[in-house]
């Protein structure tokens, strides 16, 4: 059987769709507290983004605990339970290969906060205000 060829646009859409599906599965597992880990049970964890590699074998999962509390402990617990998450994602996705998950802290909220502080600086506000 011939291998299906994807255009770059179709390829990136497929990556986004698979990543979003993995994000939903992980969010569901964490919300329903299907992971038997005290640290994860005690915290609300948001899965903000999942980035898949082009071969769909690796996924980087960006997470953020509610209010950013105990981020290191939550990441450690997620990494400790990686095998469970990989098994559940593989079972629910029905893909040929189970993606290897890597959990990382989502720094985008901190970066957005930094940009907001910069834009609120009086010197920047004066420059953005124009010649009123």
List, for residues 77-117, the tens digit of each pLDDT value: 999 999 999 999 999 988 777 889 999 988 877 777 787 88
Structural domains of the chain ordered from first start: 8-107 (3.30.300.20)
Q: What is the pLDDT of residue 3?
A: 46
- Residue 7's φ and ψ, nearest 5 degrees, are -75, 160
CB 34 within 8 A of CB 71: no
Q: Which residues contact 39 (CB under 8 A, 6 or more apart)?
A: 70, 73, 74, 76, 77
Cα distance between residue 119 and residue 113, in whole Å: 10
Q: What is the pLDDT of residue 10?
A: 53
CB 61 within 8 A of CB 31: no
Token code pair at residue 69: 């509390």
pTM, full prediction: 0.76
């Amino acid at each position: 059987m011939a291998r299906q060829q994807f255009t770059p646009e179709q390829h990136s859409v497929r990556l986004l769709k698979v990543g979003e599906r993995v994000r939903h599965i992980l969010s569901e597992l964490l919300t329903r507290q299907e992971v038997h880990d005290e640290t994860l049970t005690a915290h609300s964890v948001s899965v903000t983004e999942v980035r898949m590699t082009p071969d769909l074998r690796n996924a980087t999962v960006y997470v953020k605990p509610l209010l950013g509390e105990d981020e290191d402990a939550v990441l450690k617990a997620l990494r400790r339970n990686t095998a469970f998450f990989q098994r559940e994602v593989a079972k629910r996705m029905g893909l040929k290969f189970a993606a290897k998950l890597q959990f990382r802290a989502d720094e985008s909220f901190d970066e957005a906060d930094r940009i907001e502080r910069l834009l609120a600086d009086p010197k920047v506000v004066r420059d953005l205000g124009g010649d009123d």
